Amino acid sequence: MKKWLYALAVLVLVLLLGAFALTRLVDTDRIKRLLVEQTREKTGRTLVIEGDLSWRFFPSVGFTLGKTALLNPAGFEQGATLSVGEVSLDVALQPLLDNRLEVGHAVLRNARLHLITRKDGSTNLDDLQRLSKREAAAPDAETTEPDVNESAPDQARRLEFVSLAGVKVVDAEVLLQDERNAGLTRLNRVNLTLDRFAPGEEVPFGFSSNLFSDAVQGNVNAEGRLWLSPEYDRLRLDDLLVSLGATGRAVPGNKELTLSGDLAYHIANKQAAFTGVNMTVGSLALDGELNVNHAPDVPQIRFDLHTPLLDLEQLSAEWSSEQGGAVSGAAATDNHAEVPAEGASLPPSVASSEPDLSILKTLDVQGRLSADQLKVQGMEMENLELNIKVRQGKASAEQISARLYDGTLNGTVSLNANPTPARFALQTELKGVDGYQLLNNAAGMDSLEGRASVDLNVTGRGLSSQAIKESLAGTSRVEFADGALRGINIAAMIRRAYAQVKGQPVMEEQEAQKTDFSALTADFAIGEGKVSTDNLRLASPLLRVRGEGETSLLNDSLDVLLNTSIVGTLKGQDGETLDELKNITVPVRISGSYKEPRYSLDMQRVFDLYLKEKAGKEAERLQRKLDEKLNGELGDKINEKLPGLLDKLGL
């Protein structure tokens, strides 16, 4: 037992003597001077080391460097590009004695990185990027051969090789300052773990931080595999997985975003290419490709994205500013939280006041979006495809195509946010759709059915619900085939009214309250808060209808007159044909609202028709009696006294 204790004591003594010798043989002040001098020589920048360089022997051999800062290059504001509160390095001892610094793991605590982009687009990292390119372009021989003009003492004190096994950043801060738009984004509590630092090789990494900007606050977590080019000008993040929880002025409520894919970034050109994108935020899920070039003053975004479901009303509710800018997690999950009421006549996406569209002036976006299913204003569409452009305050959706209700939709939409209020234009073509399903789901109308085709071409100013109704202007062409007016049987209405005028008992109708037609067409003029037509036409085997009238967009009122002609055989309640009404025009008026129309017959017109028919029958009866008299003795006497008079009178 004593031998083991003696051996242990000897081992401890050797370690202590080794540590004492190391602190005496290695001059830490000399290492600090070498770091400062080589930083100035290589980069032209100033490295300030205020803290001490001290050795540590537990849990591994290495040294700790106190407060250190790399100052900004000339031309930028005074301050540090990178400052570190403490750097802890694991080092290999033997290479250090030979002026070679081989670092096992580096731990940076309380670091602060301040990236500045000036108005001309230059940054305080450009000089370091140019340096890495020059070194990469130089032949290996030039980088390894000693300079013949360099003195032996200078060569002796140069660090010949630097290697780094891994990096760990703890509680760091990153400031992104953009003088082009006075933007400032801050990341704090930044933690980064890099298993090893090996340019040209893929290495696992982990990242977390808190995000603060004028419009967004949140927390970020990411992991994946990092590849950094030997020239330090390109990087890749493969198998990237990002989760972001955000709130703020631009993010109503609390939002959770997950993002995965492969990201390639060209540092010098400031171009990012994101492939294999899978993103989920709220009810929206996207996949595809995304490219960003933030070298220009206005970043360029290009994309080709797909979503299985695009529910605009759900998204509008999720991103409505009425939810508030910052909702606590408890409030967000409260089952008793109030739900905003639905809009009465316009979709929830239409605001009650003019929205702020200033962001459109800061975007350059172009790409294609496809959706397996689209839900908007109660309508459901399939196989949606459209091209989106946003540039210089103008936005457009072109080459829109979709299938809906057994038909097709094609069109374009444009928006100009530069004037105040904003201006918009819409061109839409619907073909072969189920008109009843379309009108019922889109506007709550159930009074019309048939196979519909619609051409709509409108413009307007303002995006609030009131502004849209007041400024909407344009034209529309509507065609229905093999359909019906629901809620009214015009033929039955005429038959009942005619029986009522004649004093006949009015029997309760057994027929369906529906007027079938083979074709219905109309051209509409839209403007001054109204939709009007003067050439509505309806055709059926029994009826011919010519109509005119208008509806108000402001109060949904209807005022339409249908001049109805009976061209077929109409039977009365007793089954007898009403031939006296054939080719007679009877006015039918539609009032109320388009959701609840009211139909009425012009009874005065029906009464006039009845009196005319009755007077005609009485005239016929008198004519017959007169004919009987004139063809008897009275006729003979007249012919004797006034020969040929009755023939001239047609009697």
3-state secondary structure of 242: strand
3-state secondary structure of 629: helix
**In three state form, how does the secondary structure of 341-402 look?**
CCCCCCCCCCCCCCCCCHHHHHCEEEEEEEEEEEEECCEEEEEEEEEEEEECCEEEEEEEEE
pLDDT band at residue 244 under the 50/70/90 scheme: very high
511-567 tens-digit pLDDT? 678 888 999 999 999 999 999 999 999 998 888 899 999 999 888 899 999 888 877
Per the CB < 8 A criterion, the answer to whether 468 and 425 are in contact is: no
pLDDT computed for residue 215 by the predictor? 80
Domain ranges of the chain: 18-125+162-285, 296-313+359-475, 487-601
- Mean pLDDT on 66-73: 88
CA 408/CA 387 separation, integer angstroms: 17
pLDDT at 250 over 80: no
pLDDT at 159 over 70: no
pLDDT band at residue 132 under the 50/70/90 scheme: low
327-342 tens-digit pLDDT? 333 333 344 333 333 3
pLDDT band at residue 16 under the 50/70/90 scheme: very low
pLDDT computed for residue 122 by the predictor? 84
Per the CB < 8 A criterion, the answer to whether 337 and 331 are in contact is: yes
pLDDT band at residue 75 under the 50/70/90 scheme: confident
pLDDT computed for residue 399 by the predictor? 94
pLDDT computed for residue 388 by the predictor? 95
Return the minimum-mean-pLDDT range out of 174-183, 379-388, 438-447, 570-579.
570-579
Return the minimum-mean-pLDDT range out of 67-71, 101-105, 203-207, 589-593.
101-105
- Mean pLDDT on 593-600: 82
pLDDT computed for residue 335 by the predictor? 40
Between 504 and 226, the more confident residue is 226
pLDDT at 29 over 50: yes
pTM reported for the whole predicted model: 0.70
3-state secondary structure of 479: strand
pLDDT at 428 over 60: yes
Return the minimum-mean-pLDDT range out of 140-144, 169-173, 377-381, 552-556.
140-144
**Other CB atoms within 10 A of residue 597 CB:** 19
Which range, 45-59, 129-143, 265-279, has the best average confidence (pLDDT)? 265-279
Rounded (5°) CA angle 175-280-284: 120
pLDDT computed for residue 476 by the predictor? 95
Q: Containing H/E element for 567? A: none
**How far is residue 137 from each of residues 39, 42, 142, 164, 611, measured CA to CA in Å?**
20, 15, 10, 22, 107
Average pLDDT, the chain: 78
163-190 tens-digit pLDDT? 567 788 999 999 988 887 788 889 999 9
pLDDT-above-70 percentage for the chain:
70
CA 530/CA 550 separation, integer angstroms: 7
The terminus-to-terminus CA distance of the chain in angstroms comes to: 159
Return the minimum-mean-pLDDT range out of 262-266, 332-336, 632-636.
332-336
446-497 tens-digit pLDDT? 888 999 999 999 999 998 888 999 999 999 999 999 999 888 888 777 777 6
- Mean pLDDT on 25-53: 77
Return the minimum-mean-pLDDT range out of 249-263, 282-296, 326-340, 596-610.
326-340
CA nearest to 521, candidates 472, 595, 450? 450
Which range, 103-117, 527-541, 563-577, has the best average confidence (pLDDT)? 527-541
CA nearest to 105, candidates 50, 169, 22? 169
CA 222/CA 205 separation, integer angstroms: 8
CA 624/CA 651 separation, integer angstroms: 10
